[in-house]
Chain A
Amino acid sequence: MKHFIAILFCFVFTQSQPPLYTCRSVTTTIFSEAPLENIDATSTKGVSVLNPATGELQFSIPINSYQFQKSLMQEHFNENYMESDKFPFARFKGKINEKIDWKTPGNYQVTVNGDLEVHGVKQARSINGTVSITNSSVTVQSKFTVLCKDHHIDIPKIVFKNIAESIQVTVKANYTPSTASK
Chain B
Amino acid sequence: MKTKLLIALCFFCYTAKAQTDSLLATMENSETKTEPVTATFKSSHLILSQTTAMVKKYNLDFQVGHRFGDIGGVDGGSKTFWGFDNSSDIYIGFEYGITDRLNIGFGRSKYEQLLDLQLKYAALRQTTDDKIPLSMSLIAKTGFTPYEVTTDVFDNYADRFSYFVEVLLARKFSPRFSLQLSPNVLFRNVTLSPDDEKTLFSLGGAFRYKFTKRFGVVVDYNHVFSQYRKNNPNTNYYDPLGIGIEIETGGHVFTMNFVNAPAIVENNFIPNSTSSWLDGEFRFGFTISRMFTFHRTKTNPSNYEKR
Using a CB–CB cutoff of 8 Å, the interface residues on chain A facing chain B are 2, 6, 9-10, 13, 17, 20, 22, 24, 29, 31, 38, 40-42, 45, 47-49, 51, 54, 56, 58, 60, 62, 64, 67-72, 75-76, 78-80, 83, 85-86, 88-89, 93, 154, 156, 158-159, 162, 178, 181-182
Contacts and interface: CB of A to CB of B under 8 A. Distances in A.
A43 B191 CA distance: 56
B158 interface: no
B7 interface: no
A158 B298 CA distance: 28
A60 B25 CA distance: 9
**Lowest 3 A-B CB distances belong to which pairs?**
A69-B296, A47-B27, A71-B56
Contacts of A29: 299-300, 302-303
Interface string B1-12: 110010001001
B31 A47 contact: yes
Contact of B24 (A13, A60, A71, A88): A60
B20 A51 contact: yes
Contact of B214 (A24, A71, A78, A156): A156
Contact of B59 (A20, A38, A71, A93): A71
A79 B213 contact: yes
B293 interface: yes
Contact of A78 (B15, B31, B38, B300): B38
B32 interface: yes
Contacts of B39: 75, 78-79
Contacts of B249: 158-159
Given A2-B1, A49-B24, A40 B300 contact: yes
Given A20-B19, A181-B19, A47 B300 contact: no
B57 A22 contact: no
Contacts of A20: 19-20, 23
Given A45-B31, A79-B38, A13 B291 contact: no
Contact of B23 (A70, A78, A159, A178): A178
